[in-house]
Amino acid sequence: MTDVFSDLKARGLVAVSTDETALQTALDEESLTYYVGFDPTAPSLHMGNLVQLITASRLQQAGHNPLALVGGATGLIGDPRMSGERTLNPREIVEEWVGKIRAQVERFLDFTGPNAAQVVNNYDWTSEISAIDFLRDIGKHFPVNRMLAKESVSARLKNESGLSFTEFSYQVLQGNDYLELYRRYGCTLQTGGSDQWGNLTSGVDLIRRVEATSVHAMATPLITKADGTKFGKTESGTVWLDASLTSPYAFSQFWLNADDRDVMKYLKVFSFRPLEELEAIGAEFEAAPHTRLAQKVLAEDVTTLVHGREQYDQAIAAAAALFGGGELTSLDPATLGAATAELPRGEVPAASLGAGVPVADAFVTAGIVKSKGEARRAIKDGGAYVNNVKVTGEEQTLTADDVLDTAGGGVVLLRRGKKTLGAVDIVG
């Protein structure tokens, strides 16, 4: 790729930048060292971080040199939030999260070759500087009036909770990170989300004041959803990149359920396919949106990127199996558990399976029907299924042979008609 900046713009990945002409020229004419930072404020990165990881990867593929900063120091402080003061996490927890996030970051960048990536931790240099030196050498270059103008700062000052000096100092710490990376690695570009623009430019301004030179910053837009809900959130919470927090099945379902109005925008941001190929996919999708071609491509590309091909294939097999398109017994317990986790469900004591639990009772317990009479009618009409096998008699029961193994225990899948799913967990 010879014009990565134009490609980023065409994909909707440039919200704002410092001198655009100078940045594009620098990206076209030399191999820049650039950095993006991730604070360990949780045990995993999430969907918003994925935008930054992919942007960093695109820049590396274009021949530039990435520094992935894991904020062991800034993670102890936390960037000011609009909603109120952060709870400071214990040092040992932050240190543990640094290791987890470092491992996640390393999956998205190439650490070999002429423009090999490096992971750095801002605790390494921040911990070495005294408070007096920090205030004298760094703090004196930050005009308070400009710091107060930052959106998150001004918003917090207007509400009752106010803003502690600890969080107020965050932008000084991040500005110092850019200065240190400029001095240590010749870093001349920082990327991040547009909500971080004030922090990004604080480093640009600090380097201008201290080193009398110009460097660059580029911010990606915040990804939004057409229905007004927050991107990267589901009814069950945040979509994480850690498979133990958001299963590959749930992760793939998030993309498969993308709104038709959003899906092509997401493909440009999250897929590495060439724009020409995406345009062809978009035209085919527009002609036949019921096929959900764009959502399928999106789910395949992003799930494979984050979790690998095997996990993606398992997730797709699980989705098909839930509705009778495959063998439930062929799924590994973890995938089956993840696939049934969001279904309406109830509990059946394991001890009751010896005598047999009426299927009609199980349907009521799972919340698929409201009454035994309704369950019996579904059975009589041929629309009731246990583990995708049609129930043939109103007196049929569940037994131990019907229990499927999941990572969390046993489950029986129930279905009414083609689309109404539920489950009963076998407990005790």
- Measure the CA–CA gap between 377 and 358, rounded to whole angstroms: 14
Taking the CA atoms of 190, 192, 195 and 196 in sequence, report the sign of the dihedral they define. negative
Cβ proximity of 248 and 304 under 8 Å: no
Beta carbons within 8 Å of 321's beta carbon, 6+ residues apart: 327, 328, 330, 331, 339, 388
Q: Where are the alpha helices (DSSP H) in 271-371?
A: 275-287, 293-307, 309-322, 333-340, 359-366
- Measure the CA–CA gap between 294 and 279, rounded to whole angstroms: 10
Report whether 35 belongs to an annotated binding site: yes
Report whether 170 belongs to an annotated binding site: yes
Residue with tokens 């604080």: 202
Cβ proximity of 404 and 410 under 8 Å: yes
Report whether 174 belongs to an annotated binding site: yes
- Measure the CA–CA gap between 293 and 152, rounded to whole angstroms: 40
- Helices and strands in the chain, H and E counts: 19, 16
- Measure the CA–CA gap between 76 and 63, rounded to whole angstroms: 33
- Which amino acid does the sequence have at 175? G
Q: With residue 48 as reference, give the H or E element that holds it.
A: helix 47-61
φ, ψ of residue 244 to 5 degrees: the values are -80, -15
The token duo for 364 is 């009521």
Report whether 233 belongs to an annotated binding site: yes
Question: Three-class SS string for 313-324?
Answer: HHHHHHHHHHCC
Residue with tokens 């594009």: 24
- Measure the CA–CA gap between 24 and 20, rounded to whole angstroms: 6
Binding-site entries for ATP: 233
Binding-site entries for L-tyrosine: 35, 170, 174
Binding-site entries: 35, 170, 174, 233
